[in-house]
Structure 1
Amino acid sequence: MTGFSADWLALREPFDLAARAESAAALDLRGMATRMRGNGQVLDVLDLACGTGANLRALAPSLGGAQRWLLVDHDPRLLAALPGVFAAWSRAQSLHLRSDDQSLHVEGPDWNAEVRWRRADLASALDAVPFAQAQLVTAAALLDLVSASWLDALFERVRKANAAAFFALSVDGRVRWEPVIEEDEAVHQLFAAHQRRDKGFGPALGGEAPALAAARMAAMGYGVTQACSDWRIEGLPMLEAMIDGVGSAALEQGPSAHALVQAWQMQRRASSPRSCLRVGHVDLLMLPA
Structure 2
Amino acid sequence: MSGDRVTLTDAPRYAPTWLELREPADAEARATDLLGPLRRHLASRPSGATYLIRDLGCGTGSMQRWLAPLLPGPQRWILQDHDADLLAFATAHAATTAADGSPVTVMTRHADLTELTAGDLMSTSLVTASALLDLLSPSEVERLAAACVEAGCPALFTLSVTGGVDFTPADPLDAELSAGFADHLRDHVDGRYLLGADAANATADAFTRRGASVESRSSVWRLGSDRAALTAEWLRGWVPAAAAQRPVPDAEGYLTRRLDALAAGDLRVTVHHSDLLALPPGAARADEAAS
Match of 1:33? 42
- Cα distance, 1:61 vs structure 2: 1.7
**Which amino acid letter does the alignment assign opposite residue 199 of structure 2?**
A
Match of 1:49? 57
**Structure 2 counterparts to residues 204-215 of structure 1, below 5 A:** 204-215=194-205
- Cα distance, 1:135 vs structure 2: 1.8
**Which amino acid letter does the alignment assign opposite residue 203 of structure 1?**
Y
Match of 2:237? 245
Return the alpha-carbon distance in structure 2 between the equivalents of residues 230 and 201 of structure 1.
Answer: 30
Kept in 1, the 8 Å contact 2:163–2:178? The answer is: no
Match of 1:183? 173
- Cα distance, 1:12 vs structure 2: 0.4
Return the alpha-carbon distance in structure 2 between the equivalents of residues 224 and 128 of structure 1.
Answer: 19
Match of 2:279? 287
Identity %: 35
1:138 to 101, 125, 128: 128
| 1:168 matches 2:168 | no
Return the alpha-carbon distance in structure 2 between the equivalents of residues 252 and 174 of structure 1.
Answer: 18
Distance 1:193 1:156, change over 3 A: same
Q: Deviations over 1:155-213 (max 9, x none)?
A: 11111211011101111122101111011111121111111113458211111111111
TM (norm. structure 1) is 0.85
1:113 to 101, 104, 113: 104
**SS of match in other structure, 1:230:** strand
Match of 1:18? 28
For structure 2, the residue ranges without an aligned partner over 5 or more in a row are 1-12, 283-291
Match of 2:113? 122
**SS of match in other structure, 2:193:** coil
Kept in 1, the 8 Å contact 2:69–2:98? The answer is: yes
Kept in 2, the 8 Å contact 1:223–1:286? The answer is: yes
- Cα distance, 1:215 vs structure 2: 1.6
**SS of match in other structure, 2:146:** helix
Distance 1:26 1:85, change over 3 A: closer
Return the alpha-carbon distance in structure 2 between the equivalents of residues 248 and 40 of structure 1.
Answer: 51
Q: Deviations over 1:47-91 (max 9, x none)?
A: 1000111111111122211111111000011012224333xxx6x
Distance 1:184 1:75, change over 3 A: same
Kept in 1, the 8 Å contact 2:161–2:274? The answer is: yes
Aligned residues: 263
Q: Deviations over 1:117-146 (max 9, x none)?
A: 0100224x3359822221211101111111
Q: Deviations over 1:32-53 (max 9, x none)?
A: 3213x34561111111000111
Return the alpha-carbon distance in structure 1 between the equivalents of residues 119 and 111 of structure 2.
Answer: 7
2:87 to 79, 83, 91: 79
Q: Deviations over 1:202-241 (max 9, x none)?
A: 2111111111111221111111111111111112111111
Return the alpha-carbon distance in structure 1 between the equivalents of residues 176 and 274 of structure 2.
Answer: 24
**Which amino acid letter does the alignment assign opposite residue 85 of structure 1?**
H
Match of 1:271? 261
For structure 1, the residue ranges without an aligned partner over 5 or more in a row are 91-105
- Cα distance, 1:10 vs structure 2: 0.4
Kept in 1, the 8 Å contact 2:70–2:99? The answer is: no
Return the alpha-carbon distance in structure 1 between the equivalents of residues 236 and 137 of structure 2.
Answer: 26
